Amino acid sequence: MTDNARHSQQPLADAPVRLTPREQQVLLWCAYGKSSWEIGQILECKESTVNFHVSNILRKFDVPTRVAAVIKAIRYGMLVGQ
């Protein structure tokens, strides 16, 4: 089997997740353990807006919690050097 054939058979779940710049900011602050309220203060937006972004992040990573999203982001190399 060729290298290309092997790569094409990988499950879609292993594909990198694409986040908006704002979702990346929110995810980074989640990694630092900040609450939605704290992230809202840092990014100068409402807590409900932060929760909206967190919800999108969880959906995109297909995980139930912020911690799981952060773990997946680290596995994908999305939080390296931040």
Domain boundaries, given as residue ranges, for the chain: 27-82
Closest CA to 29 of 49, 8, 5: 49
pLDDT tens profile 11-34: 445 557 899 999 999 999 999 999
Fold (CATH) for 27-82: Arc Repressor Mutant, subunit A (1.10.10)
Per-residue pLDDT tens digits for 42-65: 999 999 999 999 999 999 999 999
Residue 68, token pair as written in the block: 């799981």
| pLDDT attached to residue 17 | 87
Place of tokens 């939605």: 36
Q: What is the pLDDT at residue 81? A: 66
Instruction: Please tell me the pTM assigned to this model.
Output: 0.79
Instruction: Give yes or no for residue 82 having a pLDDT over 80.
Output: no
